[in-house]
Chain A
């Protein structure tokens, strides 16, 4: 029975990623009937976090957030991206009730935070900006405080410390910890009460590449093995693109993109171009038009949207047949970072 309950808890928290379902099936947590029941439950709770029309300002005529509509699917790792000062931390603080909502709706687990604060917070683990720990106490003494506040079993302290690899810090005071250790302790505190949603604001800030990788691996593991929904903010796409399943991009207080990482990758593909260097661009344009390809000339080079590889071979044949010398066929792909920067710049220039 506990295994089934565990499975239920996991599935109600997760979207139906095939590998996660396979994982549960393999572990035999669920029978088919229960599985269908769970799918039904799941279909009723799609988003762990859902906001709409959220506006916020700290002073008159200086809006910090404009019409923020976040949709964080349950079970996802949601990367909340944006440059410094875009409004990420303000949004996350609003989600956690650290600042009063001024306008709009914020639903966490389908409930408004303002009316169900304690109930919601019982299921959330958070780390906002720099780690918040008492420097004069040891790691386990710190977790003892949060264990009291979350009223979870004492045995969770050792498990949480083990998860973040801080079990052997003994009597060392937190003030003597490195930044990476403090960040990991912050994550341990966030995980202590086994939350179903983790909200992490730039958790890899100030970490070296190895520390960043460690945190990424840990978060992946938590999401995969425990079905925890994770909202992680960052100002660097490259830092979290290997981690997230979904992305929201915010710039100047406005959402400029929201969707799966795949849909961001699709944008990347659609923004890719094929550049041709030929002996006669005007004649080559006519040939390519016959192949129904949109052409343009940029910096003296013929440019077309990147076609299928068979089409690349065909157009080359047609150009040669038409006695046009082809010096160069060069596919130019925009990387995700460029797409990200372009999305951000849209609002800058708007």
Chain B
């Protein structure tokens, strides 16, 4: 039995070169922090205010995560994941891929793995640019001091890990649906509908049932220090597993593979 996962993974990684999805990682990872950087340049007082608040880095981090977790990240996931699978539909390459001597499981999981690694890249870039959003204006502006505060690395690792886990259901859902439809608008529409439903249902008591809301729900927990009353991590992992398995079954069961 040949190991076909590694060559598949390498091939998938090559495919995303110069693709819009890889640009989306860069844009999505740096968009909010760059906006804040601009704001800090124009209104240095806002950065100065952050210096007054307890836990400078934590406040900066949560400020960046606010729009990211509630809207930008779920929407970015919808777009990036759909673009990855669309590479095959758009270029008419499913049939060629399915006549390569690799298992269907390798194809399915290698694509998913590439998406997850891209997510990881986005998180790293987001954290780094968030850091720069405070450092660069402080270096260039004489009105605010340089942030020399100690950084609680463990806190950031933990929070990033939780945000990452809360993204997984949306990634798996979008992956599942975008593998099924050739028309790009269908998965995009379904994903955005789910994100919008999550935003509309923000005060619904069963909001925890909607997987697109988990990053937002966790942000609320982190920002207010109040638990939501639901185990979001367990729910996220559960949904993720469910969508991945369902997506795999549907993909394998497809009668026509190109």
- Besides A98-B98, A137-B17, A150-B101, 19 other A-B contacts (C-beta < 8 A): A97-B257, A98-B256, A99-B256, A121-B101, A126-B96, A128-B95, A128-B258, A129-B95, A132-B92, A132-B95, A134-B87, A134-B91, A135-B90, A135-B91, A136-B17, A137-B15, A148-B11, A151-B2, A151-B7
Shortest Cβ gap from A143 to chain B (Å):
10
Q: Which residue of chain B has the shortest Cβ distance to A186 in the bound complex?
A: B96
Q: Which residue of chain B has the shortest Cβ distance to A122 in the bound complex?
A: B101
Shortest Cβ gap from A110 to chain B (Å):
18
Closest 6 CB pairs of A and B: A132-B96, A149-B100, A121-B101, A148-B11, A122-B101, A132-B93
Does A97 lie within 8 Å of B99, measured CB to CB? yes
The interface size bin for chain A is: 20 to 34
Indicate whether A114 reaches chain B with its CB closer than 8 angstroms: no
Cβ contacts A to B, 26 pairs, < 8 Å? A96-B95, A98-B258, A118-B103, A119-B101, A121-B99, A122-B101, A128-B96, A128-B99, A129-B95, A133-B93, A134-B15, A134-B91, A135-B90, A135-B91, A137-B17, A145-B11, A146-B96, A148-B7, A148-B8, A149-B7, A149-B8, A149-B97, A149-B100, A149-B101, A149-B102, A150-B100
Tell me the complex Cα distance, A288–B2, Å: 72
Tell me the complex Cα distance, A289–B98, Å: 63
Indicate whether A124 reaches chain B with its CB closer than 8 angstroms: yes
Does B257 lie within 8 Å of A99, measured CB to CB? yes
Q: Which residue of chain B has the shortest Cβ distance to A130 in the bound complex?
A: B92
Tell me the complex Cα distance, A147–B95, Å: 16
- Chain B neighbourhood of A132, CB < 8 A: 91-97
Tell me the complex Cα distance, A118–B8, Å: 14
Shortest Cβ gap from A339 to chain B (Å):
33
Which among B19, B93, B103 has the greatest number of chain A C-beta atoms within 10 A? Answer: B93
Tell me the complex Cα distance, A236–B90, Å: 29
Q: Which residue of chain B has the shortest Cβ distance to A175 in the bound complex?
A: B91
Does B15 lie within 8 Å of A145, measured CB to CB? yes
Q: Beta-carbon contacts of B1-15 to A below 8 Å, as 1s and 0s?
A: 010100110110011
Tell me the complex Cα distance, A137–B11, Å: 13
- Chain A neighbourhood of B8, CB < 8 A: 148-149
Q: Which residue of chain A has the shortest Cβ distance to B255 in the bound complex?
A: A100
Of B17, B91, B92, B257, the residue contacting A98 (CB under 8 A) is B257
Indicate whether B18 reaches chain A with its CB closer than 8 angstroms: yes
Tell me the complex Cα distance, A96–B8, Å: 19
Shortest Cβ gap from B10 to chain A (Å):
5
Of A96, A129, A141, the residue contacting B14 (CB under 8 A) is A141
Indicate whether A66 reaches chain B with its CB closer than 8 angstroms: no
Q: Which of A93-135 contact B (CB under 8 A)?
A: 93, 96-100, 117-119, 121-122, 124, 126, 128-135
Tell me the complex Cα distance, A133–B14, Å: 13
Q: Which residue of chain B has the shortest Cβ distance to A126 in the bound complex?
A: B99
Q: Beta-carbon contacts of B31-64 to A below 8 Å, as 1s and 0s?
A: 0000000000000000000000000000000000
Does A134 lie within 8 Å of B93, measured CB to CB? yes
Does A148 lie within 8 Å of B93, measured CB to CB? no
Q: Contacts A126-B99, A128-B258, A136-B18 hold; do A149 and B11 have CB atoms under 8 A apart? A: yes
- Chain A neighbourhood of B101, CB < 8 A: 117-119, 121-122, 149-150
Of A126, A137, A146, A150, the residue contacting B18 (CB under 8 A) is A137
Q: Beta-carbon contacts of A182-198 to B below 8 Å, as 1s and 0s?
A: 00000001000000000
Q: Which of A136-169 contact B (CB under 8 A)?
A: 136-137, 141, 144-146, 148-151
Does B93 lie within 8 Å of A144, measured CB to CB? no
- Chain B neighbourhood of A97, CB < 8 A: 98-99, 257
Q: Which residue of chain A has the shortest Cβ distance to B98 in the bound complex?
A: A98
Tell me the complex Cα distance, A118–B102, Å: 6
Which among A119, A129, A136, A144 has the greatest number of chain B C-beta atoms within 10 A? Answer: A136
Tell me the complex Cα distance, A148–B94, Å: 16
Tell me the complex Cα distance, A148–B19, Å: 19
Q: Beta-carbon contacts of B75-98 to A below 8 Å, as 1s and 0s?
A: 000000000000100111111111
- Chain A neighbourhood of B257, CB < 8 A: 97-99
Tell me the complex Cα distance, A191–B2, Å: 21
- Chain A neighbourhood of B98, CB < 8 A: 96-98
Shortest Cβ gap from B227 to chain A (Å):
45
Tell me the complex Cα distance, A134–B89, Å: 10
Of A136, A148, A189, the residue contacting B10 (CB under 8 A) is A148
Shortest Cβ gap from B68 to chain A (Å):
27
